[in-house]
Amino acid sequence: MSVLSDLLILLSGLICGAIVFQTSIIAPSVFKTLDADNASPFLRAIFPKLFVMIAFLSAIGLTIAFMQDNLKLTLIFMISAWLMLLCYFIVPATNRARDSGNQKRFSQLHTLSVVSTISVLLINLFWIFF
């Protein structure tokens, strides 16, 4: 296995670790320790950073996979980057829906964000086995 292949595995591990850490430790801790008035601004600040970080790591993986002429990994990292950018760009609309009390729209956008993030987690977790 080459150094670049090892780097792709490391990038996927960082992506998975960031998602698991954010969703299993940071977000639940915030909800347990802060009231809604304080939790919301914190989460609104931290989640976009998570999406950008994962998109950046995915872009690095995409570049390496493309240089290695590995179509499967190129697609995996392209999908990861695209989905995280999607999550990033829907954050303002999600926040507006929440602030205006449009629960249906908020739920749709939040669900899209959650499903996208879980998809990124799963493809980065399991590509190595295929």
The stretches in the chain having pLDDT less than 70 are: 1
Tell me the pLDDT tens digit for each residue of 46-57: 999 999 999 999
pLDDT for residue 1:
65
pLDDT for residue 108:
98
To the nearest whole percent, how much of the chain has pLDDT over 70?
99
- Nearest-angstrom CA–CA distance, 28 and 48: 17
Kindly report whether the global pTM for this prediction surpasses the value 0.75: yes
Q: How many residues does the chain have?
A: 130
DSSP string, 45-92: HHHHHHHHHHHHHHHHHHHHHHHTT-HHHHHHHHHHHHHHHHHHHHHH
